[in-house]
Amino acid sequence: MLAVSELAANALEHAPGPYEMRLRFTASDLICEVADRDPRLPTVPAFPATGPFEADPSRRSGGLDALLKVMSERGRGLHVVHQLTCGAWGFAADRGGRMKVAWMAIPGC
């Protein structure tokens, strides 16, 4: 549910509607797709090997600015999706390039 809500929230914030959410089962996965009317495929950020929520010793004693950056509620959604799906997610063009689809696969459902 958390990963699905992140994909839906990104569509609502960054793309024009209407929106579609599709769920389908394959032999091994549950696939969730969130489609929007913005055909531009976003740049997928590079994810650190350690994960987004691990302590960074170089940022200790960074003061208020460092604390606020760690506590920010922005910019972690795709990291959450990446962690929950073990990297099985992405973006694709749909309907002749007029839409984009954010998708994720949840294995073993």
Structural domains of the chain ordered from first start: 2-40+64-107 (3.30.565.10)
Spatial separation of the C-alpha atoms in residues 65 and 43, rounded to whole Å: 27
Q: Is the pLDDT of residue 12 over 90?
A: yes
Q: Which of 42, 40, 33, 32 is nearest to 99 (CA)?
A: 40
Three-class SS state of 53: coil
Specify the range with the lowest mean pLDDT, choosing from 19-28, 59-68, 95-104. 59-68
Mean of per-residue pLDDT scores for the chain: 82
Q: How high is the pLDDT of residue 80? A: 86
Q: How high is the pLDDT of residue 41? A: 92
Three-class SS state of 106: strand
Q: Is the pLDDT of residue 53 over 60?
A: no
